A and B are shown apart, each in its own frame.
Chain A
Amino acid sequence: MSGARQVKFYQVGSLAAGNRLLAPALRSGQADPDRSNALTCGHRACQGCGEALGARYVLDAAQRASGGKVIAVNATGCLEVFSTPYPETSWQLPWLHSLFGNAPAVAAGVAAALRAQGRTDVRVIGQGGDGGTVDIGLGCLSGMFERDDDVLYVCYDNEAYMNTGVQRSGATPPAARTATTQTGAPFGQGKSLPLIAMAHGIPYVATATVAGLRDLEAKVHRAMGMRGARYLHVLVPCPLGWGTASHDTVRVARLAERCGLFPVFEAVDGEVTDVTPIRRRIPVEEYLRPQKRYAHLFEPEVRTDVIARLQRAADRNVARFGLAEEEAP
């Protein structure tokens, strides 16, 4: 682990103060000036990039959980491109990028090598965006799940191919405008990778967002405490693709959670074991309005029919996962 450089602190105010009131073990990894800082500053992500934020929390937490012994395998995508334009790299941990569609298999290869070498102390993380995970990488990911390879795979889901200019992916939600769904992505298409992962019966599946960073860290810690194939699906708003203000990334992620469109839960061995209940639920409209990718639902006229369909989808999530506070297990 490279602790050579003191990390800069951007977080001030109540959150940082709150951290100081906690016992050191309970504080966020990010509150530690000696944290590993896996993804260091100077990379070329857009301002307010949710993926950069999510990846830093995930990898720092993983390094903390494993004594710094983490190898990361990255799919092609924004995270790969903005972090390593040759000859600069923002990665402070051993990092390998091979292709767009093979990160799970490459990560499984690293894990197999470590096993053959008897290096059980070193852990492997595979990571990619939603395109690399739910579409082109799905075959390799399913194989990795099915074999129960000892890899934690993290999908940073920004719901489209952002690196190539915001085209629809299998994770793009219905009605969202992308460069290839000009009038909004169709209903009835797309896939939920957390559910597909659960269907493989792997030891651990969890979802999280960059609005719940302590929750994200905790889930990474839990996942790192297990062996076998584990899957973490993190919602990471993309200001460029979603048409949101750079300072709104965390807020938009929170709205996604609070309206019910993005359920936050954990599943062990294919069964949901925990959900994050929604405090003060909001109508989906509040989540949709700040995003330009949904602007066509509000102008020139308000598409109450489409918004109602999205509301029903959110309601279904709330019922299915028991997200309403009183229903929470």
Chain B
Amino acid sequence: MWKQTEGSRAVAETVAHCRPEVIAAYPISPQTHIVEELSRLVRSGTLDPCEYVNVESEFAAMSMCIGASAAGARAYTATASQGLLYMVEALYNASGLGLPVVMTVANRAIGAPINIWNDHSDSMSQRDSGWIQLYARDNQEAADLHPQAFRLAEELSLPVMVCMDGFVLTHAWERIDVPDQERVDAFLPPFEPRQVLDPAEPVSIGAMVGPDAFTEVRYLAHAKQTQALEAIPRVSAEFGEVFGRVSGGLVHPYACEDADTVVVSLGSVCGTVCDVVDEMRERGVRIGALAVTSFRPFPLEEVRAVLGGARRVVVLERAFSVGVGGIVSANVRTALSGIRLDGHTVVAGLGGRAITKASLHRLFDDALAGRLGELTFLDLDTGLVERELARMARTRRSGPSAENILRDVGSNR
């Protein structure tokens, strides 16, 4: 159903149409509008039967989803940032137990310094948690990815994280075709658990496993993610048949066929990158863009197929691995092993800093002109950083860096 609506509301309504039976909710910005709307939908009886539980922490939220899923119920929660980190232990547990929980992550930076705005530090930190991770490019896709997430999760018995950029998507209003009940029902069959707590057929779930079998059990997690590489495009195609649009899948190349330079990115910035690609193409630059929708599993073959023919790859990342650099880049490099080309990691949009078309134009021009290094922090104010580094070198008790830098920002104005 087409409507002018907020990203969070579209996601909440779509999730409701997926008929979750247990929703565990703990509020954190910028995820709040999703759980608020779901609360309303359950309270009004629109979503029924469903147990909506206000829990006391994200750790409890994920734990409750674990219990609900093991009891054979379709379970859902949403979180962001610190909340995702607070549930980490349970996150690994859900995937280790093979429980098909679906969770929306309203991507947000991680403190300190505390910051409520968007980047991908939260979900990227959980890339090894065993969850499938899908990144939405826009709100239509954010909504559409949820029925697909439940399909994938339940087919593979693996939890799925749908990542949507906090505020940029969650709080943006636009025209969205919210997947309606009838079509979601046609697309998403009822949950048939692979394992279930049932007094009629008692099983023990979560037994201790020693060195004799641990490797095999863990390998299965990898094998299931490998199966997801086949399932994700198939489910996306089936979604396309029911809903008549392209959403989800592993990767989305844009103007890549003849491109010398390809820009890899995830999430909402993909749209901006495509706009810049269009503008540069008008100038005759052979540039393309590759959106990675499935970051876990990472589609090595598909990425290699798109990038293998390029001369230059720029990976635009909204998070980084402190002490080494790119996270997505490292995965792209694995995909390209044995292929020689110029690779650039660009860390951009941290803590909500806007990634503007002007900055991207400058960046890509630098790349084309051979002026771009291996690791770049887009729009980094080096003056500010150098002042603080000098202060730290000068005095032992230089004080809290964040406050020092903020003071410098203030005095610069």
Contacts and interface: CB of A to CB of B under 8 A. Distances in A.
Contacts of A181: none
A271 B37 CA distance: 38
Interface stretch (B68-76, B297-305, B315-323, B325-333): B68-76
Interface in A74-114: 74, 80-81, 84-87, 89, 91-99, 101-102, 105-114
Interface string A229-266: 00000000000000000000000000000000000000
B210 A109 contact: no
Chain A interface: which size bin? 35 or more
A198 to B, nearest CB: 19
Contacts of A147: 53-55
B22 A113 contact: yes
A115 B23 CA distance: 13
Contact of B197 (A68, A99, A101, A110): A110
A142 B197 CA distance: 24
Given A112-B73, A116-B22, A140 B56 contact: yes
Contacts of B198: 94
A122 interface: yes
B68 A113 contact: yes
B56 A106 contact: no
A84 B208 contact: yes
Interface stretch (B58-66, B340-348, B385-393): B58-66
Contact of A102 (B53, B63, B72, B75): B63
A89 B73 contact: no
A298 to B, nearest CB: 38
B374 interface: no
A60 to B, nearest CB: 14
A96 B206 contact: yes
Chain B interface: which size bin? 35 or more
A49 interface: no
Contact of A112 (B68, B97, B201): B68
A109 B204 contact: no
A105 B73 contact: no
B55 A105 contact: yes
A32 to B, nearest CB: 18
B75 A139 contact: no
B21 A98 contact: no
B67 interface: yes
A81 B204 CA distance: 12
Which of B56, B65, B97, B198 neighbours the largest number of chain A CB atoms within 10 Å of its CB?
A: B56
B21 A113 contact: yes
Contact of A110 (B54, B55, B67): B67
Contacts of B70: 96, 106, 109-110
A84 B203 CA distance: 11
B209 interface: yes
A98 B51 contact: no
A105 B207 contact: no
11 contacts: A1-B199, A95-B203, A98-B93, A105-B55, A108-B53, A109-B63, A110-B68, A112-B73, A113-B21, A116-B22, A116-B73
Interface of B: 21-22, 24, 49-51, 53-57, 59-60, 63-73, 75, 89-90, 93, 97, 197-199, 201-210, 213
Given A80-B206, A106-B70, 9 more contacts: A69-B199, A86-B207, A94-B198, A97-B206, A97-B207, A98-B97, A99-B89, A99-B93, A108-B64
Interface of A: 1-2, 68-71, 73-74, 80-81, 84-87, 89, 91-99, 101-102, 105-118, 122, 139-140, 142-143, 146-147, 149
